[in-house]
Amino acid sequence: MNNSGLEGVGIYKVWGIGSRDWRRKRGMRRASEARRAEREGEEEARMNADERGRAEDAVEGAGVDMAGAKLTIRLIGMTPNAVDVVYSACRQCYSPAFAGDEFRPDASVQGMKKKEALIRKVVASGHESPLEHVSMTFAIRGISRSCSLQLVRHRLASYSQQSQRYVNMEDFGYVIPPTIEGDKELREMFVATMEDIRQKYHRIVRALNGKGMKGELANQDARFILPEASETKIVVTMNCREMLHFFSVRCCNRAQWEIRRLANEMLRVCKEKLPSIFGEEAGAKCQKLGYCPEGPKNTCGKYSLKEELMR
């Protein structure tokens, strides 16, 4: 599948700190990233490695090595012939014909326009079950554990998350909230806390290793001190109906900033890939409702409250 242009990159950074031991690993990581970039010919991967290198080099003198990585989402899979599949499902509801015959992959402009028009009409009417036949799979990195906890609350989806048991977390990156990033004193305290946790994690792993517990046996207990800020990587698959629901609650200004940013990036990719499903009304629920259901205390003010419209 050609994924060009289907990748979203957020604007905030994930940081990791290194000292001597980690500096060696950092060198290995940079080398392996460079090899990967060469192997796959991925200009983007090379730029990430270079950017990270620059960030690390910039603070070397301060004795704090930072490894920055951006929020990255990549569409790695999607139901083939998605428009045809949804169209056939829609037609099956209203047609005496058989969906197996209706399903004719037709990429002509005329054919696509006809199908997309029907899909738009059906989505606008709130008849969303045909959308369940198409799924999208995203690989996500550069989000905090805290964000992933919110993500996995969405039950009608499938997840595969990097394990803190099978993967040693001594080199963990972390997300700094913008409010803390923008305050020198808070940022210093935050970074120092992360470094402290890293060193203690390292000590616990070594101590458990000394008691004969290696690999996952040590990692699974040492991870108890890791912060919610620590970076995670996750693969998520949602069908399009669930995606619309996810966007309706997580693109809302009331949602927490990190998951909102993630949702907005995913929405951008969905709009690009399937505009007939993720049209103008896709996004925060107010966009479809035309009013804000959050009440006077929580509304962001972008739309009128329901009670104001009812007056």
Tell me which residues touch ligand FAD (CB under 6 A): 153-156, 242, 245, 249, 254-255
Do 27 and 158 form a contact (C-beta atoms < 8 A)?
A: no
In DSSP terms, which residues pair with 8 in a beta bridge? 73
- Of 78 and 243, the one with the shorter C-beta distance to ligand FAD is 243
Q: Are strands 69-78 and 135-144 parallel, antiparallel or unpaired?
A: antiparallel
Alpha-carbon distances of 174 from 12, 133, 197, rounded to whole Å = 11, 36, 12
- Of 155 and 184, the one with the shorter C-beta distance to ligand FAD is 155
Catalytic position from the list 91, 250, 260, 261: 250
Output the six-digit token pair for 4: 């060009």
255 CB-contact burial (10 Å; exposed 0-12 / middle 13-18 / buried 19+): middle
Closest of 15, 8, 9 to residue 230, by C-alpha: 15
Do 291 and 305 form a contact (C-beta atoms < 8 A)?
A: yes
Q: Is 104 designated active site?
A: no
List, as own/partner pairs, every contact residues 192-200 make where C-beta atoms lie below 8 angstroms and the sequence separation is at least 24, other chains included: 193/227, 194/15, 194/17, 194/227, 194/229, 195/17, 195/19, 195/64, 197/225, 197/226, 197/227, 198/17, 198/22, 198/170, 198/172, 200/225
Spatial separation of the C-alpha atoms in residues 238 and 132, rounded to whole Å: 9
With vertex at residue 62, the alpha carbon angle to CA 61 and CA 66, rounded to the nearest 5 degrees, is 95
- Known catalytic residues? 250
